Amino acid sequence: MEPESKIRVLIAKPGLDGHERGAHVVAYGLRDAGFEVIYTGLRQTPRQIVNTAIQEDVDVVGLSILCGAHLSLTQMVINGLKEGGAEDILVLVGGIVPEEDIPRLKEMGVGEVFTAGTPVSAVSNFIRAAVSAS
């Protein structure tokens, strides 16, 4: 098999909640869809997420947030990426997000919000379309 370009995705869990299941399911699902998934586990600070995204040169950062602080955490990650010259990295948010916050997240620059229960195939299809179009 020839080496080829792979879509690289960081799945990160900012915030203080300890629920890893959703992020696990997405990480394994995206691997099975052919992506290279960097998984860094629970309780990541925005700074840790931004550094990892830049060093790993990912195409996508998927934030799994269940703690209710999605607006501020997402804003911090997006700001950090911008400061690091990496504003072209696609940011996605998954987890528990109230309907009314979705437009606000998109205004910040989030590509899409996947609420709990979204099948992983929806996420992988979105990523494939978005990354190959850019």
Partner 1 sequence: MTENFFLRFMDIHIKKTKTADHSWESLVAGVQARNIRAMARLITRVENREPGWKEAMKAVYPLTGSARIFGITGSPGAGKSSLTCEIAEELVKRGHQVGIIAVDPSSPFSGGALLGDRLRMKKIFTMKEIFIRSMATRGMLGGLSQAARDVARIMDAFGKDIILIETVGVGQDEIEVVKTADRVMMVCIPGQGDGIQALKAGVMEIADIYIINKADLPGADEVMADICAMLNLSSQNGQALPPVLKTSALKNQGISELADSLLSHPAGSSKDTLRREIQAREEILSLMENDVFRAIRSRWEQSGALTAEVRKMVEENKDPYSIVSELLQQIDGKADLFSS
DSSP 8-state class, residue 119: -
Ranges within 111-130 binding partner 1 (CB under 8 A): none
* Of 23, 26, 27, 97, the one binding partner 1 by CB under 8 A: 27
Does 133 interact with partner 1 (rule: CB under 8 A)? no
For partner 1, the closer CB: 96 or 131: 131
Helix and strand numbers (H, E) in the chain are: 5, 5
**Cα within 13 Å of Cα(77), Cβ side:** 35
Ranges within 30-89 binding partner 1 (CB under 8 A): 30-41, 44-45, 47-48, 51-52, 54-57, 84-86, 88
The neighbour count for residue 49, using CB atoms within 10 Å, is 23
Does 132 interact with partner 1 (rule: CB under 8 A)? no
Residue type, 44: Q
DSSP 8-state class, residue 21: H
Residues that bind partner 1 (CB under 8 A): 1-6, 8, 27-28, 30-41, 44-45, 47-48, 51-52, 54-57, 84-86, 88
